[in-house]
Protein backbone atom coordinates (compact mmCIF):
# COMPACT_ATOMS: atom_id res chain seq x y z
CA UNK A 1 0.00 0.00 0.00
CA UNK A 2 1.27 3.46 -0.89
CA UNK A 3 2.24 5.57 2.11
CA UNK A 4 1.09 9.15 1.78
CA UNK A 5 3.44 11.74 3.31
CA UNK A 6 0.53 13.48 5.03
CA UNK A 7 -0.26 10.30 6.95
CA UNK A 8 3.25 9.83 8.26
CA UNK A 9 3.83 10.36 11.96
CA UNK A 10 6.48 12.80 13.04
CA UNK A 11 8.13 13.42 16.40
CA UNK A 12 6.67 16.13 18.63
CA UNK A 13 8.09 19.62 18.30
CA UNK A 14 10.09 20.69 21.37
CA UNK A 15 10.73 24.14 22.78
CA UNK A 16 13.70 25.34 24.79
CA UNK A 17 14.39 28.80 26.07
CA UNK A 18 15.69 30.16 22.77
CA UNK A 19 15.07 27.43 20.18
CA UNK A 20 12.31 25.30 18.74
CA UNK A 21 13.02 21.80 17.47
CA UNK A 22 10.79 20.17 14.87
CA UNK A 23 11.05 17.40 12.31
CA UNK A 24 12.38 18.37 8.86
CA UNK A 25 9.77 18.88 6.16
CA UNK A 26 10.02 18.99 2.36
CA UNK A 27 9.43 22.74 2.49
CA UNK A 28 12.64 23.21 4.53
CA UNK A 29 14.90 22.30 1.61
CA UNK A 30 15.73 25.83 0.44
CA UNK A 31 16.61 27.19 3.89
CA UNK A 32 18.51 24.02 4.80
CA UNK A 33 20.56 23.89 1.60
CA UNK A 34 21.36 27.62 1.74
CA UNK A 35 22.59 27.41 5.33
CA UNK A 36 24.63 24.27 4.67
CA UNK A 37 26.11 25.73 1.48
CA UNK A 38 27.29 28.95 3.12
CA UNK A 39 28.69 26.98 6.08
CA UNK A 40 30.40 24.23 4.08
CA UNK A 41 33.96 25.13 5.03
CA UNK A 42 32.91 25.45 8.67
CA UNK A 43 31.15 22.05 8.76
CA UNK A 44 33.17 19.71 6.57
CA UNK A 45 36.10 19.12 8.99
CA UNK A 46 33.67 17.63 11.55
CA UNK A 47 31.28 15.60 9.35
CA UNK A 48 31.33 12.50 7.13
CA UNK A 49 32.42 13.32 3.58
CA UNK A 50 29.62 15.10 1.73
CA UNK A 51 27.94 13.26 -1.15
CA UNK A 52 28.11 14.73 -4.64
CA UNK A 53 24.45 15.68 -4.45
CA UNK A 54 24.57 16.70 -0.78
CA UNK A 55 22.91 20.07 -1.38
CA UNK A 56 20.65 19.01 -4.27
CA UNK A 57 16.98 18.08 -4.07
CA UNK A 58 17.85 14.46 -4.87
CA UNK A 59 20.08 14.30 -1.79
CA UNK A 60 17.40 16.03 0.30
CA UNK A 61 14.75 13.52 -0.80
CA UNK A 62 17.04 10.64 0.13
CA UNK A 63 17.75 12.26 3.48
CA UNK A 64 14.03 12.75 4.16
CA UNK A 65 13.29 9.09 3.35
CA UNK A 66 15.97 7.99 5.80
CA UNK A 67 14.64 10.31 8.50
CA UNK A 68 11.11 8.88 8.10
CA UNK A 69 12.30 5.27 7.97
CA UNK A 70 14.52 5.65 11.03
CA UNK A 71 11.75 7.31 13.02
CA UNK A 72 9.20 4.65 12.04
CA UNK A 73 11.71 1.96 13.05
CA UNK A 74 12.28 3.70 16.39
CA UNK A 75 16.04 3.97 15.92
CA UNK A 76 16.53 7.72 15.36
CA UNK A 77 14.80 11.10 15.58
CA UNK A 78 15.99 14.04 13.47
CA UNK A 79 15.15 17.66 14.22
CA UNK A 80 15.89 21.00 12.65
CA UNK A 81 16.70 23.81 15.08
CA UNK A 82 14.96 27.16 14.70
CA UNK A 83 15.58 30.38 16.58
CA UNK A 84 12.33 30.69 18.49
CA UNK A 85 11.49 34.38 18.11
CA UNK A 86 12.45 35.00 14.48
CA UNK A 87 11.88 31.45 13.21
CA UNK A 88 15.26 31.30 11.44
CA UNK A 89 16.86 27.91 10.79
CA UNK A 90 20.11 27.69 12.75
CA UNK A 91 21.09 24.00 12.54
CA UNK A 92 20.09 20.40 13.12
CA UNK A 93 20.22 17.80 15.88
CA UNK A 94 19.64 14.04 15.88
CA UNK A 95 19.08 11.40 18.51
CA UNK A 96 20.35 8.21 16.89
CA UNK A 97 21.16 4.58 17.64
CA UNK A 98 18.21 4.49 20.05
CA UNK A 99 18.14 1.26 22.03
CA UNK A 100 15.80 -0.03 24.70
CA UNK A 101 15.92 -3.30 26.63
CA UNK A 102 18.95 -3.49 28.89
CA UNK A 103 20.61 -0.46 27.27
CA UNK A 104 17.98 2.34 27.17
CA UNK A 105 20.50 4.59 25.45
CA UNK A 106 21.04 6.79 22.41
CA UNK A 107 23.66 8.96 20.74
CA UNK A 108 23.31 12.66 20.03
CA UNK A 109 24.77 14.52 17.06
CA UNK A 110 24.34 18.09 15.84
CA UNK A 111 25.47 20.83 13.47
CA UNK A 112 25.01 24.58 13.34
CA UNK A 113 25.34 27.16 10.59
CA UNK A 114 28.54 29.17 10.86
CA UNK A 115 26.84 32.53 11.34
CA UNK A 116 24.80 31.12 14.25
CA UNK A 117 27.71 29.47 16.07
CA UNK A 118 28.70 30.68 19.51
CA UNK A 119 25.32 32.23 20.29
CA UNK A 120 23.99 29.58 22.68
CA UNK A 121 21.46 28.03 20.29
CA UNK A 122 23.12 24.62 20.20
CA UNK A 123 23.57 24.44 23.94
CA UNK A 124 19.85 25.12 24.38
CA UNK A 125 18.97 22.55 21.69
CA UNK A 126 21.12 19.83 23.28
CA UNK A 127 19.66 20.46 26.73
CA UNK A 128 16.11 20.46 25.36
CA UNK A 129 16.52 17.19 23.47
CA UNK A 130 18.26 15.50 26.41
CA UNK A 131 15.38 16.39 28.75
CA UNK A 132 12.93 14.93 26.21
CA UNK A 133 15.04 11.77 25.91
CA UNK A 134 15.13 11.22 29.66
CA UNK A 135 11.67 12.39 30.71
CA UNK A 136 9.46 11.38 27.77
CA UNK A 137 11.41 8.61 26.00
CA UNK A 138 12.58 7.14 29.34
CA UNK A 139 16.13 6.62 28.14
CA UNK A 140 18.84 6.13 30.74
CA UNK A 141 22.05 7.18 28.96
CA UNK A 142 22.87 9.67 26.18
CA UNK A 143 26.26 9.57 24.51
CA UNK A 144 28.08 11.96 22.17
CA UNK A 145 31.33 11.47 20.26
CA UNK A 146 33.54 14.48 19.60
CA UNK A 147 36.82 14.96 17.73
CA UNK A 148 39.40 16.23 20.29
CA UNK A 149 40.10 19.35 18.21
CA UNK A 150 36.45 20.39 18.04
CA UNK A 151 36.62 22.87 20.90
CA UNK A 152 33.20 24.40 20.19
CA UNK A 153 31.45 21.03 20.39
CA UNK A 154 33.30 20.07 23.56
CA UNK A 155 32.16 23.31 25.16
CA UNK A 156 28.53 22.65 24.16
CA UNK A 157 28.57 19.16 25.68
CA UNK A 158 30.27 20.15 28.91
CA UNK A 159 27.91 23.09 29.46
CA UNK A 160 24.99 20.69 28.89
CA UNK A 161 26.19 18.44 31.71
CA UNK A 162 27.98 15.73 29.70
CA UNK A 163 31.11 14.15 31.15
CA UNK A 164 34.11 12.91 29.19
CA UNK A 165 34.55 9.18 29.73
CA UNK A 166 37.48 8.31 27.48
CA UNK A 167 39.02 8.26 24.01
CA UNK A 168 37.79 5.99 21.21
CA UNK A 169 40.64 5.36 18.78
CA UNK A 170 39.94 5.64 15.04
CA UNK A 171 36.23 5.68 15.87
CA UNK A 172 34.47 7.41 12.95
CA UNK A 173 35.43 8.24 9.37
CA UNK A 174 35.13 12.02 9.24
CA UNK A 175 35.72 13.95 6.01
CA UNK A 176 37.31 10.80 4.57
CA UNK A 177 39.74 10.16 7.46
CA UNK A 178 39.38 7.79 10.43
CA UNK A 179 39.43 10.02 13.50
CA UNK A 180 39.88 9.50 17.23
CA UNK A 181 36.91 10.76 19.28
CA UNK A 182 36.32 11.63 22.87
CA UNK A 183 33.25 9.86 24.22
CA UNK A 184 30.96 12.01 26.37
CA UNK A 185 27.88 10.81 28.23
CA UNK A 186 25.10 11.95 30.46
CA UNK A 187 23.06 9.53 32.57
CA UNK A 188 19.53 10.09 33.84
CA UNK A 189 19.76 11.57 37.31
CA UNK A 190 23.16 13.21 36.76
CA UNK A 191 23.34 16.68 38.25
CA UNK A 192 23.52 19.42 35.68
CA UNK A 193 21.51 21.96 33.71
CA UNK A 194 18.00 20.91 32.75
CA UNK A 195 15.95 23.60 31.01
CA UNK A 196 12.22 23.92 31.16
CA UNK A 197 11.08 22.04 28.06
CA UNK A 198 7.63 21.47 26.66
CA UNK A 199 6.23 19.76 23.62
CA UNK A 200 4.86 22.32 21.19
> pLDDT for 103-119, tens place per residue?
999 999 999 999 999 99
Residue 33 φ/ψ, nearest 5 degrees: -65, -35
Q: What is the pLDDT of residue 199?
A: 52
Q: What is the pLDDT of residue 10?
A: 83
Q: What is the pLDDT of residue 3?
A: 41
Handedness of CA 124, 95, 46, 145 (dihedral sign): positive
The one-digit pLDDT tens for each residue of the chain (200 residues) are: 334 444 457 899 999 999 999 999 999 999 999 999 999 999 999 999 999 999 999 999 999 999 999 999 999 999 999 999 889 999 999 999 999 999 999 999 999 999 999 999 999 999 999 999 999 999 999 999 999 999 999 999 999 999 999 999 999 999 999 999 999 999 998 887 654 445 55
What is the rounded distance in angstroms from the CA atom of residue 113 to the CA atom of residue 100? 32
Q: Does residue 56 contact residue 117 with C-beta atoms inside 8 Å? A: no
Q: How many CB atoms lie within 10 A of CB 46?
A: 16
- Which helix (H) or strand (E) segment is 156 a member of? helix 151-159
CB-count burial class (<10 Å; 0-12, 13-18, 19+) for 85: exposed
Q: What is the pLDDT of residues 60-75, one digit of tens each?
A: 999 999 999 999 999 9
The model's pTM is: 0.90
Please name which of 91, 101, 117, 104 lies closest in space to residue 19, comparing C-alpha atoms: 91
Q: How many CB atoms lie within 10 A of CB 1?
A: 3
**146 pairs with which residues across the strands?**
182
Amino acid sequence: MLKLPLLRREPPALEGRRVRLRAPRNSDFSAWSALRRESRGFLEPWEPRWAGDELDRSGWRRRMRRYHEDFEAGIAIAYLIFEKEAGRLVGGITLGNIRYGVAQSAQIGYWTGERHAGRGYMQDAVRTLVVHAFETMRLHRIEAACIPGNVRSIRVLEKAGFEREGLLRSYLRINGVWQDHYIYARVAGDPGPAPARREA
